[in-house]
Amino acid sequence: MKILIVDDEPDVRTLVRDSLQYSQHGLEPIEAADGETALRSVTIDSPDLVILDLGLPGHDGFTVLEQLRERSDLPVIVLTARGLEEDKIRGLKLGADDYMTKPFSPGELVARIETVLRRTHPAVSRRGVLRRGTLRIDLGARRTFRDEIETHLTPTEFNLLAELASHPGEALSHETLLMRVWGPEYRSETHYLKVYVGRLRDKLEADPSDPRLLQTVRGVGYRFAEAD
């Protein structure tokens, strides 16, 4: 699998490139030092995942991520400077699949890469069609329709919706959702869940500020509304 490393610092690119050797899955590095080169590389080299520094000069990482999401669901792990919590949240809201804080350990980086690849390329899919009002979720085809018009969801968004919709009326805890959708190592990363539920509401709710489908269960987690 090809991994596109986007960072303007040669030392960071070298660290990430060397880290890929810890994987047992034959990860092949591709490098880009700026945003424009990175976007060209996505088209030309067809990487399987992007590791993107948000602090790029000029064509910054946020802009690259926005433009990438306009054309692709390619998995993206963003790199942020330590302590910049707002950058992490902004990156997730723009469509990043995960983030790493600099400095990072090579082993943790590879573990995150492999987890994201598994999550965005599920080996086994669910079967069946779920309906709730005007919403139709085809689990096998991984497609979602609202009023019979397809609504595009990223792989992680679809995984989260499918998990909730498969248990209508049941309050699923933050920890349960994080473990089932992201993996056990994410069980305490509640900001992932908050951001992704917000993204689903923006796409599926008639009024995202007053959600009727994806309901918050205060102090517990979230619930997919039962049919009326």
Predicted pLDDT of residue 2: 96
Whether residues 11 and 56 share a domain: the answer is yes
> For the segment 93-110, what is each residue's pLDDT rounded down to a tens digit?
999 999 999 888 999 999
The reply to whether 30 and 107 lie within a common domain is yes
Same domain for 116 and 135? no
Same structural domain for residues 13 and 74? yes
Q: Does 178 or 128 have the greater pLDDT score?
A: 178
pLDDT at 133 over 90: no
* Residue 63 and residue 98 share a domain: yes
Last residue of a domain, one of 102, 120, 138: 120
Of residues 74, 52, 49, the one with CA closest to residue 63: 52
19 with 103, same domain: the answer is: yes
| Confidence band of 123 (pLDDT split at 50, 70, 90) | low
**Which CATH number covers residue 144?**
1.10.10.10
End-to-end CA distance of the chain: 46
State the pLDDT confidence band at 9, using cuts at 50, 70 and 90. very high
Measured CA to CA, the distance from residue 34 to residue 61 in angstroms comes to: 9
The boundaries of the domain holding residue 111 are 2-120
Residue 228: predicted pLDDT: 58
The predicted pLDDT at position 119 comes to 87
Report, as an integer, the average pLDDT of 75-96. 87
Q: Given this model, what pLDDT does residue 15 score?
A: 94
pTM for this predicted structure: 0.88
The count of structural domains within the chain is 2
- 92 and 111 within one domain: yes
Q: Are residues 112 and 143 in the same domain?
A: no
Contact present, 48 and 117 (Cβ < 8 Å): yes
> What pLDDT is stored for residue 85 in this prediction?
79
Rounded Cα distance, 134 and 117, in Å: 32
94, 120, 146: which is the final residue of a domain?
120
Q: Is the pLDDT of residue 111 over 90?
A: yes
Residue 134's pLDDT band, with cuts at 50, 70 and 90, is confident
How much is the average pLDDT of 55-83?
Answer: 89
**Are 29 and 116 part of one and the same domain?**
yes
Residues 115 and 8 in one domain: yes
Tokens (6 digits) for 192 = 């992932």
Q: What angle do CA 118, 123, 127 make, to 5 degrees?
A: 125
CB 96 within 8 A of CB 69: no
> Does residue 7 sit in the same domain as residue 115?
yes
Query: Could you tell me the CATH number of the domain that includes residue 68?
Result: 3.40.50.2300
The pLDDT value recorded for residue 194 is: 95
- Claim to verify: residue 18 and residue 57 sit in the same structural domain: yes
Across the chain, mean pLDDT equals 92
Rounded to the nearest angstrom, the gap between the alpha carbon of residue 139 and the centroid of all alpha carbons in its chain is 18
Q: Point out the least confidently predicted range of 15-19, 131-135, 139-143, 160-164.
A: 131-135
